[in-house]
Amino acid sequence: MTFVESPVTRAPRERLDRRDIRTLALAALGGALEFYDFVVFVFFAIPLGHLFFPPGTAGWLAQLQVFGIFAAGYLARPLGGIVMAHYGDKLGRKKMFTLSVFLMAVPTLGIGLLPVYAQVGMLAPLLLLVLRVVQGIAVGGEVPGAWVFVAEHVPAQRIGFACASLTSGLTAGILIGSLVAAAIHRELTPAAVLDYGWRLPFLVGGVFGFFAVWLRRWLSETPVFEAMHARKELARGLPLRQVFERHLAGVLVSMLVTWMLTAAIVVMILMTPTLAQSVFHIEPARAFLGNNAASFALALGCLFFGWLADRTGHARALLAGAIGLLLCSYALYVDLRAGGVHFVALYALTGFSVGVTGVVPTLMVLAFPPAVRFSGLSFSYNIAYALFGGLTPPLIGLLVERFGVLAPAHYVAFTAVIGIGVAGWSIATSRDASRRA
């Protein structure tokens, strides 16, 4: 498998122009608002565990059940991703890009209005599960569609930075969620959070989502898709069938690097604030302060590794970032085990290392030709995220219970080794191709 941009359609320019920058900014802002809607759930896992399950449920079990509902959103991602990608390859990227954010806004608003267990019994967690599944369907189309959208708007030499800037925008959504959670826990008493405070981030998120829908009306269809449509080069039949017949190597590599991405984001960014409180007894305000620092550093890290990918190649950037992720993950959790003296600083450094995830979409975009790019990328990413991202929260809970407090770091380090292997294979493949040329 070779990672090359198809000559179809790419304008002969090397720099980002004003339209590119506008497109990247609007796409990243809309993505941030939508991803906030998807991830804010995990920041309120503890109050949701108290409110949506029977009184007297053991704390660890209630948290595990909430993580299970959180995971259901990941398990639903392939459905939205595969369907939206099919029509994105057939009808255009922009239409699906707008639909996905609308489908996210509605259930987010709905979660903020849900009755709790004390009011409707077991119907409460069932309704929470249904709305979480709809969120998963929406984000399944949003994330791969966003990467394809920005990659096809910019010069080929800037795909790394374009995909990373979008990823940085998505991670900014995590930062927004963390800031909102920190503010609510700081300003409200624990009783007030359980009474009404937990609803606020979801109600705000619903409004954010509809604002993102409005923002995307200013975006235009990608030049790559318009050129393919004009030349009648769109995929015939089922685009996904062509992916299976001709691009299985791209699917495999994309799924492997997505595994690393899920571990880095889900464990290090989304779950660590909760684990810091429940396992290491870090006070909530400090846990979310660390997460704020890590999320901000993550957004910067994505931009750095995207820039590095354009300068040195995506494989070398992936190699450097995966090594950094492995080292920083252990440093953070070893410090937490020792009492968390350097928690905030090490969490920020770890967040920056998680920025290696900004390289992953570049690799996946270049693994598939434009005619089936959306379908190939979406299938690979969403199936891997459903499998690995969906199982990670409950798995980490069980691993910590059985193997000790360093289990999260062991898991992330294992996936970083996979990323190192993919990077090494890609570098070796490129060298072989150069020699044959």
Residue ranges for the chain with pLDDT beneath 50: 2, 4-11
Domain-embedded: residue 330 = yes
What pLDDT was estimated at residue 1? 54
What pLDDT was estimated at residue 29? 79
Distance separating the N- and C-terminal Cα atoms of the chain = 15
Domain-embedded: residue 65 = yes
* CB of 101 closer than 8 Å to CB of 213: yes
Domain-embedded: residue 105 = yes
- Tell me the pLDDT tens digit for each residue of 130-166: 998 888 888 888 888 888 888 888 888 889 999 999 8
What pLDDT was estimated at residue 433? 58
What pLDDT was estimated at residue 235? 72
Domain-embedded: residue 4 = no
Domain-embedded: residue 424 = yes
Question: Residue 264 is part of a domain; what is its CATH number?
Answer: 1.20.1250.20
Domain-embedded: residue 3 = no
What sections of 52-92 are H helices per DSSP?
Answer: 59-75, 77-91
Domain-embedded: residue 12 = no
What DSSP assignment string belongs to 272-318? HHHHHHHTT---HHHHHHHHHHHHHHHHHHHHHHHHHHHHH-HHHHH
Return the SS3 of 142: helix
What pLDDT was estimated at residue 4? 46
Domain-embedded: residue 185 = yes
Domain holding 279, by residue range, is: 18-436
What pLDDT was estimated at residue 351? 95
What pLDDT was estimated at residue 321? 96
User: Minimal CA–CA distance to 272: which of 258, 257, 293?
Assistant: 293
Domain tally, the chain:
1
